[in-house]
Every structure is written in C-alpha cells, then in structure tokens.
Amino acid sequence: MQRRCPSPGLIHHTDRGSQYAAYEYQKRLERAQARPSMSRKGDCYDNAPMESFFSTLKRERVHRRRYWTRDEATDDLGDYIDGFYNLTRRHSELGGVSPVQFETMVKLT
C-alpha cells in the first residue's frame, strides 16, 4: 500500500489469520481507507489467486536469488512486484495485459 498509494475503497482480502483480525492491523487499513475482506471459514478456494501469485513469485524471482539480509529481500521483491509484475508482466486473466495497463483501461471506461 505504501508504494502504490491506492485510492480509497481498496479491497484488502486475506485469510482468517489472527494477525489480519488484530486491532492495529484493522486500524491501519481504516487509516488507508481500505475495506477489509476475509475468506469464509473452511473455504480452501478463496485463497487460490494469492497461492498462484506466490507460486509465480517464487518460480520467477525467489528461486533464482540468494538474499543475505531481510532488507535485501524486501527491496528485491518490491522491485519485482512494482517494477515488473504490475507494470510489464502480461496476465492471461487480464486479457494479456499488465495489471497497471488493465487498471488504466478500466478507469477510461
């Protein structure tokens, strides 16, 4: 959220982990004007898009690298997500365009 500065109304979807239900986490979402969304109990398909994303992230980036510090990993993964995955990488679910291109097309309609 810090890098992209999403518009108010962002839907932030998570599983039912206690860390996501914690008061401080919920307050941070509220300050960002993000709308929290949690999966239903026992719904194993609810997290499928994120599982797919993490599989892609590991295959395309993490398995090729060795990180010596947490900061190095955080910077590299942030660069991958914001600099390649969202800007350049084509997504079949979005009609073969990047997420940023898709968001721009949706805003124009």
Q: How far apart are CA 7 and CA 54, in angstroms?
A: 24
Residues 98, 65 within the same domain: yes
Contact partners, residue 78, CB within 8 Å, separation at least 6: 3
pLDDT band of residue 97 (cuts 50, 70, 90) is very high
User: How confident is the model over 69-86, as pLDDT tens digits?
Assistant: 999 999 999 999 988 998
Cα(105)–Cα(109) distance, rounded to whole angstroms? 7
Looking at the structure, do residues 57 and 109 belong to the same domain, yes or no?
yes
> Does one domain contain both 31 and 58?
no
Residues 19 and 51 in one domain: no
Q: Which pTM was predicted?
A: 0.59
In the chain, the number of structural domains is 2
Sign of torsion, CA 62 56 86 13?
negative
Q: Are 18 and 42 in contact (CB under 8 A)?
A: no
Host domain of residue 5: 1-42
